[in-house]
Chains A and B, each alone.
Chain A
């Protein structure tokens, strides 16, 4: 595996680095990695395949283009909120206010646009601004006063729910009809535009993988094996092509889904390729070590809370656009829990520092599929809640088991 000259024998201590041996990847190795949560994305894809198989067998409408298009629309809002949740979870923190913030932001947008006649785009920007301000406020309170984010955002949950009721006023429900707002979730890309976006994504994935491979080889560094690269990019390519074909055979690729995927791609870049993203992982891994390395931990945390609340606000706007209305229960009910459950199901650790932002999309897909499938089977909400709760518990248990196994092998 190594292009570096391998030392024939360790200079000191034969027993020291045996466990570093990555030379013989085996099926058992892969299984162990799955259990320890190192291949979170693969694990969640397997889970998704199982769920889809079950629902496809139970109801032949589940895997139809119409239903999958609906699923894509259903997950856009919660997936967007989950992007912010992933960032917060990576820090080892939690934000319980994202649901309430999404409801408040949607209400602000609706009231400004409908009741006060604001330009819809200005109303959207104002709603996002409210979200960002809330995040800065909660982040500042939590970091400056050293209060656990759990408590601060729990208080926020109540406050922003109250603010939402106040903003909506006596009417309670505000119907949205301005196309600028309803088009966010109501637009489907024309088939050729869908293909254009899909092919651009494939070109980006393959291109960046090859570029990275070429640059690492040129630098004389160990590079990913060609087989792994082909499997990885090939799987992504097939997934994109299938998605575009299926969605095009119904109404086309939903704009909202494109936006969600776009956000995930951008945030993935930020997390993996920038100093800011690296520092988020560092703080989530060991905040004290990060602080001593010169990272301004409080400022970083506050920034992440601001981002999370902004994404929550945007998720609320997408949800309002899809429902064509905002009411007193917008952002309430199980939205908060589902937006946290998704990333956790998809492998983001609640203990911080582990996971990718793709978990926001994949997790929303898992949770959304369960919910959608049970709707098709006309399950009662009592059953739906219990099943969703069970899946969440299972996911958290997997996370905890993975952590314990890592610790058992001397890793934290």
Chain B
């Protein structure tokens, strides 16, 4: 596997082939090349952090995987099988779900209604089955070891930022996805709420789900990620383990400060 060539031997080797394998993804917006041949592997039960400065291509990469804005070129493999992702429905069918930064929750609805929005369980074909949905919500939250939501009938607008993030992540779990993409899940959260969300991410990993997490917060990234992949100017410039000693190197790669040192700056 070529992924090991960059970051050295400390990278946790995937037991089998990766869950998701991206090779040479490209995307242009007119004359602007937002992504120029990005490679990425994510194994099942692995948390991969995607970091980079604004405009590095993180969002472009994610949108290519989720099908919101399909890539122009390159290959995507799921479980070793080449797939074509041209629309959000394609990625959903492949077991990829994403939680965007704005969470896309309806504040006037309760937790259960938000979890099942657009895929409500019905009884007798027409009538909403509130009991089944509420039971399923509780099961899901218990499975994710969420202890901070006392009532699944609370209005989402009444919840704290961490609780809302929890609801959004739980919703992404409803279809039993293989890969969950989290876009800035800890932005604008307090310390204890950030800890809750990171616990939840670890929980996803222990469920055997592959997780891609985008974050500007390196402290969070080093706390939760197995591997840290740095994007710069639309390409992957390096990847590191979450060993705290790598922190300077990651910062350097993000800012491009040591680009003159070549690609071998990893300690």
Query: Which of A's residues lie within 8 Å of B, judged by CB?
Result: 1-2, 4, 6-7, 10-17, 19-22, 215-216, 219-222, 273-275, 278-279, 281-282, 284-286, 288-290, 292-295, 353-354, 406, 409-412
Contacts and interface: CB of A to CB of B under 8 A. Distances in A.
A282 B171 CA distance: 15
Contact of A278 (B120, B160, B192): B120
B173 to A, nearest CB: 15
B194 to A, nearest CB: 9
Contacts of B150: 2, 6, 17, 20-22
Chain B interface mostly: loop
Contacts of A221: 131, 134-135
Contacts of A294: 118-119
B196 interface: yes
Contacts of A406: 157
B195 A286 contact: no
Contacts, number: 129
Given A2-B151, A16-B148, A284-B108, A216 B131 contact: yes
A7 B147 CA distance: 7
A295 B119 CA distance: 9
A219 B147 CA distance: 21
B157 A274 contact: no
A353 B193 CA distance: 28
B27 to A, nearest CB: 21
Given A11-B148, A16-B196, A221-B135, A274 B104 contact: no
A11 B126 contact: no
A274 B193 CA distance: 34
B148 A13 contact: yes
A282 B131 contact: no
A15 to B, nearest CB: 6
B113 interface: yes
A281 B109 contact: yes
Interface in B90-146: 100, 102-109, 113, 117-120, 122, 126-128, 131, 134-135, 138, 145
18 contacts: A12-B147, A12-B195, A13-B162, A13-B191, A13-B192, A17-B160, A221-B135, A274-B126, A274-B127, A275-B120, A275-B122, A278-B117, A281-B109, A282-B113, A285-B107, A285-B109, A295-B118, A412-B157
Interface in B191-222: 191-193, 195-196, 199
A236 B147 CA distance: 38
Contact of A354 (B108, B162, B190, B191): B108
A191 to B, nearest CB: 35
Interface-central residue, B117, B120, B158, B163, by most chain A CB under 10 Å: B117
Contacts of B155: 411
Contacts of A11: 145, 147-148, 199
Contacts of B134: 219, 221
A4 B191 CA distance: 28
B154 interface: yes
A293 B127 CA distance: 19
Contacts of B251: none
B149 interface: yes
